[in-house]
Amino acid sequence: MRVRVPRIISQASVPQLLLAASVVSYGIFFILLSAFSQPGLGLGEGFNLPVVLAALVTGPVGGALAGLCAVALFELGLMDDGRIHVGGVFTTGTEIRLIGYVMVGLVVGYFATRGKRLLADALHMLDDLLALAGRDLTTATLASPGLERAMSHRLAEQEPFVLLVVEALSKPAGSSGVRRLLRHDDDIRRIASVIGAELHREAELARIAATRFAVLVPADSSEDARDAILSCERALDEAGFEASVGWAESPKEGMDIFSLFSVAVERLCADLLVRGEWSPALAEPAFTEALAAAASR
* Separation CA 103–CA 67 (nearest Å): 8
pLDDT at 130 over 80: no
Angle, CA of 56, 117 and 67, to the nearest 5°: 25
* DSSP code string of 186-230: HHHHHHHHHHHHTS-TT-EEEE-SSSEEEEEEE-SSHHHHHHHHH
Lowest mean pLDDT among 99-108, 122-131, 155-164, 170-179: 170-179
Q: Does domain 144-278 have CATH number 3.30.70.270?
A: yes
pLDDT at 288 over 60: no
Give the span between the Cα atoms of 263 and 162, in whole angstroms.
11
Return d(Cα 181, Cα 172) in angstroms, integer: 10
Domain boundaries, the chain: 7-131, 144-278
Give the global pTM. Answer: 0.52
CA distance 245 to 191: 14
Q: What is the pLDDT of residue 236?
A: 84
pLDDT, tens digit, for every residue of 135-178? 777 787 888 888 888 888 888 888 888 898 888 877 665 544 44
